[in-house]
Amino acid sequence: MTVTLPPSSNPGPGPAIDEEVHGVSLWRGAFRRIRRNPSAIAGVVIVLAFTVVALAAPLLTTYQPGSAQWSGQVTPSSVPGPSDEHWLGLDRFGSDMWTQMVYGARQSLIYGVISTAIGLTVGASLGALAGGFGAVGGRIGAWVDTAVMRFVDVMLSIPSLLLAVSIAAVLGQNSYAIMIAIGTAQVPIFARLLRGSMLSQGKSDYVLAASALGLRKRRIVMGHVLPNSIGPTIVQATLNLATAIIEVAALSYLGLGSSDPAVAEWGRMLVAAQDRFDAAPRLAIMPGVAIAITALGFTLFGEALREALDPRTRR
């Protein structure tokens, strides 16, 4: 007697397993999708180039920032351009322009990373507090969630740049004031994002299952809800780096940056180039282009990372 198996039971190579669904972690799958995204590659290249220039600034020039030893060569109607000694020429104060640019990249990286770290730390703490109590529920949880978010709403009611300018003006004209001001302006963004993500995760099936198994609510929130909610906040931090670099330049342009002439800042270079724009427009064009390209790089990378981690756009 011969038994014929149905076609589905015949041995042979089955359908290919979709790596996007089976056997690939969330971050590994996101990395694979980023590698196939031309915008992400362009953003990574820009970010890496900016980071290398910022970190290797002392190795890329033999001069010191703010050194005006060639000030005698600068006149109201003439600013020396590129030469063998000065690749990008001199600025209006008689300093080497290339040195100012590479050290300006270092300052932008330091200010951007530290200010974003401040905003992420404080904002994530507030968001975790509100989202944790909100996910737990109960009268006390609702009261804590409401109190924290009303404070965040007050901060959101003030435009971020205006809030940063106000804080920097109160703290004084120094580098620390800029970083604290920009970081404070970013706090409500991270707080609302993490709180909303935690509340969404709190309604998931795995939370209901953990509660049914008798796990304590604190363990569920800290061990399951918070780790699964932090991803979008990290992605937002990448996007906020672009905003931070622009706001650093804006505050320096308004005269709220460091008053130390040895500190090179792209925003302050834009201010200094105003009265020499007719004679040497490159003094304003070069730092302006550097700010735009750097912000574009962080934006492209952040958007690509967000799309790679979003389940709705993976396919």
Entry field: residues in the chain? 315
Residue 300 lies in a domain: yes
| pLDDT for 8 beyond 60 | no
Residue 15 lies in a domain: no
Query: Cβ distance 178 to 168 under 8 Å?
Result: yes
Query: Which tens digit of pLDDT belongs to each residue from 46-59?
Result: 999 999 999 999 99
Q: Whole-angstrom Cα distance, residue 277 to residue 273?
A: 6
Q: Whole-angstrom Cα distance, residue 124 to residue 82?
A: 47
Report phi then psi at 90, rounded to 5: -110, 160
Q: Return all residues near 22 (Cβ < 8 A) that are at least 6 apart.
A: none
Q: Return all residues near 232 (Cβ < 8 A) that are at least 6 apart.
A: 193, 194, 197, 306, 309
Residue 306 lies in a domain: yes
Q: Which two tokens stand for residue 267?
A: 């925003």
Residue 120 lies in domain: 42-313
- DSSP code at position 73: G
Query: Which tens digit of pLDDT belongs to each residue from 14-32?
Result: 444 444 445 556 667 777 8
Q: What is the pLDDT of residue 271?
A: 85
Q: In terms of pLDDT, which residue wins out, 128 or 224?
A: 128
What is the identity of the amino acid at 254?
L
Q: What is the pTM of this model?
A: 0.81
The CA distances from residue 87 to 84, 96, 232, 262, 286, in Å, are: 6, 8, 42, 20, 13
Residue 138 lies in a domain: yes
Triad 227, 228, 232: Cα angle to 5° = 100
Angle between helices 38-55 and 282-309 (to 10 degrees): 130
Q: What is the CATH number of the domain that holds 104?
A: 1.10.3720.10
Closest CA to 183 of 126, 129, 123: 123
The HSE-up count of residue 179 (CA atoms within 13 Å, CB side) is: 17
Closest CA to 244 of 292, 305, 182, 299: 182
Residue 8 lies in a domain: no
Q: Return all residues near 86 (Cβ < 8 A) that are at least 6 apart.
A: 70, 80, 96, 97, 98
Q: What is the pLDDT of residue 252?
A: 85
pLDDT band at 71 (very low <50, low <70, confident <90, very high): confident
User: Average pLDDT of 182-200?
Assistant: 92
Q: In terms of pLDDT, which residue wins out, 225 or 185?
A: 185
Residue 21 lies in a domain: no
Residue 71 lies in a domain: yes
Q: What is the domain count for the chain?
A: 1
Residue 279 lies in a domain: yes
